[in-house]
Amino acid sequence: MIERGPQGNTLDQICGELGVTPVAQFRGGEKLPLGEEAATMYLVEGPERKLKNLKVGNFNEDEARKTNWLRERLAGSKLARVPEVLREESGRYILFEHVNGLPLSRESFWKMPSVMDRSFMALSEIDQVLNQEPLSNTEVQEGRDWVRKKLESEWVEPILQDAELTRGGLFTPEFIHHIQSYAGQHQDKLGDIVRIWRDPNGDHMIVPYDTTDRRMGIVDIDIGTRPRHYMPMRLLAWSLLRMADDKLLLETWVRNNREQQHLGAEVNPTFVLSLVGILYDLATGEKDNKSKRLIAIEVKNIIREIIDGSQEEN
């Protein structure tokens, strides 16, 4: 059964007005057969058999303004673009062009570092554009409230343990509590204390964790969010252009990233895993953290083999 929109309009009524036919519906970027589950995003087909995206409800004037603002500033970008709006009625629906995204399965995405590298460039460009528009006080407060709830729910522990981002036994309950307390007490000053890595999912606190004899790894903790990123980034997930560049060897990609981060050859490059997870999420629309963590583990195993193989050769 299709849920009714805010003005009591069914999907069939809106499609009739627009002259399109629903083909599939989306949940987290995944296409589902019609009727399986109510959704607000649909893939529709026009009389010319051209595919389009239709979002029903929950699209207000503020989102429209920000999306149009982003589209204008990406007009000359060769990396990504925001789909053109074909027709819209605030609060009721928005019809926009369907742009083919990355033609990759979830199994093959992490095997193509050239795609990950190119995607990261696109995301960086998008983020630079978004940061030109300051956050409002309301958005800042919403972000901090979201962080506070995350910290109170002790969300850090399962993510770090399940993803196996560093050697076993590193993250004791005491250490996790310390990080949670630190993030909660110093949100306003973190930029001056530790490195901040900004991505579409929010702001991340990168904390190098050292022992007396060697560096053990890097803790990647989400410390903030930018609510206005949601709609533009969902559009970006569908609008990343097809990548045709020559494949970049994973070994080269890892070494380049470590060099850029000034981490050195002996460091376990856990930051690569976080990057892979975020890019995978955006490229596929995948929101299942378990699937994302499993991919991160596989990537980590490959990186380990590269590192171990290099050490054996030396």
Number of CB atoms found within 10 A of residue 80's CB: 21
Residue ending a domain, choose from 40, 64, 97:
97
What's residue 15's pLDDT? 93
In this structure, the answer to whether residues 269 and 168 fall within a common structural domain is: yes
What's residue 21's pLDDT? 92
Q: Averaging pLDDT over each range in 6-20, 101-115, 269-283, which range is the top one?
A: 6-20
In a domain, 6, yes or no: no
pLDDT band at 66 (very low <50, low <70, confident <90, very high): low
In this structure, the answer to whether residues 212 and 231 fall within a common structural domain is: yes
The CATH number assigned to the domain holding 70 equals: 3.30.200
CA dihedral 150, 168, 260, 102 (to 10 degrees): -70
pLDDT band at 125 (very low <50, low <70, confident <90, very high): low
Distance CA 275, CA 198 (A): 11
What's residue 178's pLDDT? 52
DSSP 8-state assignment for residue 207: E
Instruction: Dump pLDDT digits (tens) for 273-288.
Output: 333 444 444 334 444 4
Q: What are phi and psi of 267, to 5 degrees?
A: -85, 135
In this structure, the answer to whether residues 298 and 190 fall within a common structural domain is: yes
pLDDT band at 127 (very low <50, low <70, confident <90, very high): low
186-205 exposure pattern, b = at least 16 Cβ within 10 A, e = fewer: ebeebeeebeebbbbbbbbb
In terms of residue numbers, what domain contains 38? 11-97
In a domain, 5, yes or no: no
Q: What are phi and psi of 260, to 5 degrees?
A: -65, -35
Rounded to the nearest integer, the mean pLDDT of the chain is 52
Instruction: Dump pLDDT digits (tens) for 207-264.
Output: 333 222 222 223 333 333 333 333 333 333 322 322 223 333 334 444 555 555 454 4
**Strand order through the sheet with 195-199:** 195-199, 202-210, 215-224
pTM of this structure: 0.42
In a domain, 167, yes or no: yes
In this structure, the answer to whether residues 44 and 148 fall within a common structural domain is: no
What's residue 134's pLDDT? 57
What's residue 23's pLDDT? 85
Q: What are phi and psi of 266, to 5 degrees?
A: -85, -5
Count of domains forming the chain: 2
In a domain, 4, yes or no: no
In this structure, the answer to whether residues 194 and 296 fall within a common structural domain is: yes
| Residue whose entry in the numeric block shows the structure tokens 């570092």 | 113
